[in-house]
Structure 1
Amino acid sequence: MPNRTLGRGSAALEVSALGLGCMGISEFYGTVDESVGERTVAAALDAGITMLDTADVYGPFRNEELVGRVVAKRRGNVVLATKCGLRHTDSGFQIDGTPEYVKKAAEGSLRRLGVDHIDLYYQHRPDPKVPIEDTVGAMAELVAEGKVRHVGLSEPGPGTLARAHATHPITAIQTEWSLWSRDIEDEVLPVARERGIGVVAYCPLGRGFLTGAFRSVDHLEASDLRRVHPRFQGENLARNLVLLETLEEIAGARGATTAQIALAWLLARGEDVVPIFGTTRAEHLRQNLEASHLVLSAEELRQIDERIPPGSAAGPRTGPGAAHMETPEKVH
């Protein structure tokens, strides 16, 4: 597995070119046996992945505990990324970027992960009620205390990102980015690259759609949020299946899977890009990792951009069942 560097200077962090997103092991995409999840995380580490992505909100809390159990005896080879900023309340999730909560959340994550420091600590969503300088200032204090090594933001607006980086060096942003979600390219990506901030792309396989594994939501569990996601419904789904067929044609010509092409396309967007995919199947894990050595030609990249251009996916990328997880920050 080749490595890549997120951030630069004092904020630089070396990670594997592909990371494992652990969210789906514990929540949102149906039921997964925790022993299967543990084996998946261990297999990813064995295969050369060094970056594991989790959050206190996944589970809730169970995902960090699961990841912590796996890395307990191999901490030195793992870059642990987790997040704060979403509180569990009786009425659902609430964004909280107050310095007090940031510090309290970090202590909880350290305890559940069973570690003395977090390698990359993200604010899960910017809090419009709290100046980003206050939130990142608290994260900077955690760095000074040795409890956090690097600071990140998930789904920031471009103005917020610039202000955050002026407060403390930001190593990476995490945002949805894939062949069917390219919003980042217009405003956020230029700000990140101007400042040397890396990009961790979550949902690089379009919540599994770009793998071609399913063409309807009928077989998904009732708890799977894709059942109500706009891009998996009715006319939107029909139009998106046409895009999938195009991707299947491109992948077939290369002798690769659609997932490998989708991941390789993201890797080709720049050396500062690290996609994190989720899976619980060993076969899919092995196949996806092969994308780190799949180099798309200039002609293949041109063809992909021409046939699957920005904005071609039908339906918004946010779903009603997980707006708290998916809605990008609107405050610039």
Structure 2
Amino acid sequence: MITRREYLKMSLAAGVALALKPGLMWAGDRELPLITRTIPGTDEAVPVVGLGSSATFRSVAEAGEYDRIRDVFAKLSEHANSVFDTAPGYGGSEEVAGRIVNELGIRERIFWATKLNVAPRGGGAADPERAMAQLERSFEYVRKDPIDLIQVHNLGDVETQLPILQEQKDEGRIRYIGVTTTFPRQYEQLEKVMEQYELDFIGVDYAIDNHTMEERIFPMARDKGIGVLVYAPFGRTRLWEKVDGKEVPDWAAEFDAHTWGQFFLKWVVSSPVVTAATPATSRARHMADNMGAALGRLPDQEMRQRMVRHIESL
């Protein structure tokens, strides 16, 4: 079994063939099928692996390295309706990404998910006028009307900001609405919001070494028909540090995983509650590798447990 670094070198060597159809390298003359999930309560499907725009994506966008961002979006758009997750709070990410998807002419191939939050840090009330101004900037950046999904970022003054999103949805300017958090201190509040409001999506942290969502929040999402976007599927850098210098186990090929990135992502999206995972990257090679996790087979429950045990043993 090869490492992610070796896989990416092979990707370059394979050239255009792999760029167009990442599954072919592993399937001989058989193209691996794309794995999608249907948004609860609809007949709309999205690929299970998308793109986030925090971390390195944000840094590259703010540094003006637009060619790298273009290459990432060109790769992402090969799978129609792929989720791109961004936020006004991610520095220049939202503005730069909006400009590039329009330059490339791929705006309608991207499921555009952004966020709303003008509440003061540490809590406090959100100014409705500032919230509407932030929303209008989001529409201006992407030039997509309606925007596919807007969520209240980090549960910022939900009482004020979620009704604003609901009103915009009722007017046909937003297709789906929701809330997000990756902070354990907010998990209890998230449960209350899921009980109180009609949400289309939640965005949360979930990884092979972080199963908290499985205890209460995922069952609630399943029962209420709420879509789930997963952030930090690599534990930010935590999982990469854990597997540094270690090879992917040979048995990962049983579910078409050939790199650690695919190993981690396939574990995440094999949860039937997860709609899509959106790992952030600023490199097209990594985007292609991540998208490989949306091809072929997924681990079953027994294999998922084996994967967890393997990571715990490292």
Q: TM-score range by the shorter chain?
A: 0.7 to 0.9
- Match of residue 21 from structure 2: none
Residues 83 and 110, structure 2, Cα contact 8 Å, conserved in 1: yes
Instruction: Give deviations 1:233-282, integer Å, cap 9, x for gaps.
Output: xxxxxxxx3xx379x45534425211111111111111543111122222
Give the counterpart of 1:139 among 160, 165, 170.
165
Distance 1:250 1:42, change over 3 A: closer
Q: What's the TM-score, normalizing by structure 2?
A: 0.74
Instruction: State which of 57, 70, 79 in structure 2 corresponds to 1:25.
Output: 57
Tell me the SS of whatever aligns to 1:201: strand
Q: Which amino acid aligns with 2:134?
A: A
Report if the CA contact (8 A) 2:61-2:96 is conserved.
Answer: no
Native 8 Å contact 1:110 1:116 kept in 2: yes
CA gap 1:86/1:307 in 2 versus in 1, 3 angstroms: farther
The aligned counterpart of 2:110 is 78
User: C-alpha displacement at 1:133, in angstroms?
Assistant: 3.9
The residue aligned with 2:284 is 282
The alpha-carbon distance between structure 1 residues 253 and 14, as it changes in their structure 2 partners (threshold 3 A), is: closer
Tell me which moved more, 28-37 or 186-195.
28-37
Partner of 2:27: none
> How do 1:209-228 and structure 2 match up within 5 A?
209-210=238-239, 212=240, 215=241
Give the whole-Å Cα distance in 1 for the aligned partners of 2:286 and 2:81: 14
> C-alpha displacement at 1:97, in angstroms?
4.2
Aligned-residue CA RMSD (Å): 3.1
CA deviation after TM superposition for structure 1 residue 188, in Å: 1.9
Equivalent of 1:251 in 239, 249, 252: 249
Superposition deviation, residue 31 in structure 1: 5.5
SS in 1 for 2:155: coil
Moved more, 151-160 or 138-147: 151-160
Mapped partners of 1:164, 1:47: distance in 2: 30
**% identical equivalent positions:** 24
The answer on whether the counterparts of 2:139 and 2:147 sit within 8 Å (CA) in structure 1 is: yes
1-side partners of 2:101 and 2:138: how far apart?
A: 14
Q: What does residue 304 of structure 1 align with?
A: 307
2:99/2:141 contact within 8 Å kept? no
Choose the corresponding residue for 1:57, options 72, 89, 96.
89
Question: Where does residue 25 of structure 2 map in the other structure?
Answer: none
SS at match of 1:142: helix
How far apart are the structure 2 equivalents of 1:63 and 1:257?
27
**Structure 2 CA distance for partners of 1:112 and 1:181, relative to 1, 3 Å:** same
Structure 1 counterpart of 2:252, which letter?
R
Q: Where in structure 2 are there 5+ consecutive unaligned residues?
A: 1-33
Q: Which residue of 2 aligns with 1:327?
A: none
Distance 1:271 1:193 in 2: 6
Q: 1:39 aligns to what SS in structure 2?
A: helix
Give the distance between the partners of 2:37 and 2:112, measured in 1 at CA: 15
Q: Which of the pair is proportionally richer in helix?
A: 2
Note the C-alpha offset of 1:102.
Answer: 3.0
Shift of 1:209: 4.3
Give the CA deviation at 1:153. 0.6
Offset, 1:47? 4.5
2:187 is aligned with 1:189: no
Q: Structure 1 residue aligned with 2:176, among 150, 153, 159?
A: 150
TM-score normalised by the chain length of structure 1: 0.70
State the structure with bigger RCO (CA 8 A, min sep 6), 1 or 2: 2
Q: Does 1:105 align with 2:134?
A: yes
Partner of 2:37: 4
Q: Is the 8 A contact 1:133 1:163 kept in 2?
A: no
> How far, CA to CA, are the matches of 1:39 and 1:154 in structure 2?
28
**Does the CA contact (< 8 Å) of 1:21 and 1:53 recur in 2?**
yes
Pair 1:283–1:28, CA change in 2 (3 A): closer
Q: How many residues align?
A: 269
Indicate the SS of the match to 1:296. Answer: coil
8 Å CA contact 2:83, 2:113 repeated in 1: yes
Whether the aligned pair in 2 keeps the contact of 1:102 and 1:139 (CA below 8 Å) is: no
Looking at structure 2, the residues matched to 13 and 101 of structure 1 have their Cα atoms a distance apart, in angstroms, of 32
Distance in 1 (CA, whole Å) between partners of 2:244 and 2:303 is 16
Which stretch shows the higher mean deviation, 21-30 or 287-296?
21-30
**Per-residue CA shift, 1:114-144, capped at 9, x if unaligned?**
22221100100123xx4x3443212111112
